[in-house]
Amino acid sequence: MAFGHTQNIVAERVRTYEEQLKEYKIGMTRAELLRALQHEKLEVRWLAAGKLSDDDAKEAIPDLKKALAADKGWMNKINIGVALAWLGDASGLAALRETCRSAEPKYLRIFAARYLIEKDDTTCFDALLEILTKTDIDAKVGALGLLPRYKATHDYQQKSSKYIVAALADKSGHVQKAAISAVGSLGNEIAIPALEAAANQESDEDMRAALHAEIARLKTANQAETPKQ
């Protein structure tokens, strides 16, 4: 799990960085948090990085860079990279972009994409489209969930429509449901015919109902937005 700028959620309640660090007997002074960036346990390093980022501790940037370089694992690049990015350091963004391009397993790319789009960084757009050509169900669901946030990208519709439309007929129901939620981002001229075609080919009754429900929702929303003559 990525410990990013937000707090880690465990057992249905939000546990703060402070609570989790105290379990490792890590204090909250700046010096203690900086020392924790060199802890033998990666999780402690990530928690300390998150806390320093939340505290806007820009003086921690040199130590965070060392922590980033100390472990080449993708989760380290994500967690330390997020902390650096939120503190305004370019090396954090670079680590997240590298993760988008190359991380395995591919669902890790979703973590990086999610954090980058929070910074209005659309670098991961093509990486998300590539994920939709693969077989990793969790990664595909994650990519479909994020793609609508790239809608302002100038070639969004042109580049993403074939992937999202194809996902409406995916073998996985989870991917299909994610595609149903995402297809509206393509605009009704593409989305409604695609949903209708998918519904005509769909053998599962519940999935067919979900497709028809989205068609109805998009048509209703379009009517509400159309000015009365």
- For 90-143, write each residue's pLDDT tens digit: 999 999 999 999 999 999 999 999 999 999 999 999 999 999 999 999 999 999
User: Residue 78 in contact with residue 71, Cβ under 8 Å?
Assistant: no
Rounded to 5 degrees, what are φ and ψ at 132? -70, -10
- For 66-94, write each residue's pLDDT tens digit: 999 999 999 999 999 999 999 999 999 99
Domain ranges for the chain: 1-122, 124-229
Q: Is the peptide bond between 62 and the residue preceding it cis, with omega within 30 degrees of 0?
A: no
- For 28-47, write each residue's pLDDT tens digit: 999 999 999 999 999 999 99
Task: Identify the architecture of domain 1-122 in CATH.
Answer: Alpha Horseshoe (1.25)
pLDDT band at 8 (very low <50, low <70, confident <90, very high): very low
Cα three-residue angle 204-160-189, rounded to 5 degrees = 70
What's the fold here for domain 124-229? Leucine-rich Repeat Variant (1.25.10)
- For 182-219, write each residue's pLDDT tens digit: 999 999 999 999 999 999 999 999 999 999 999 999 99
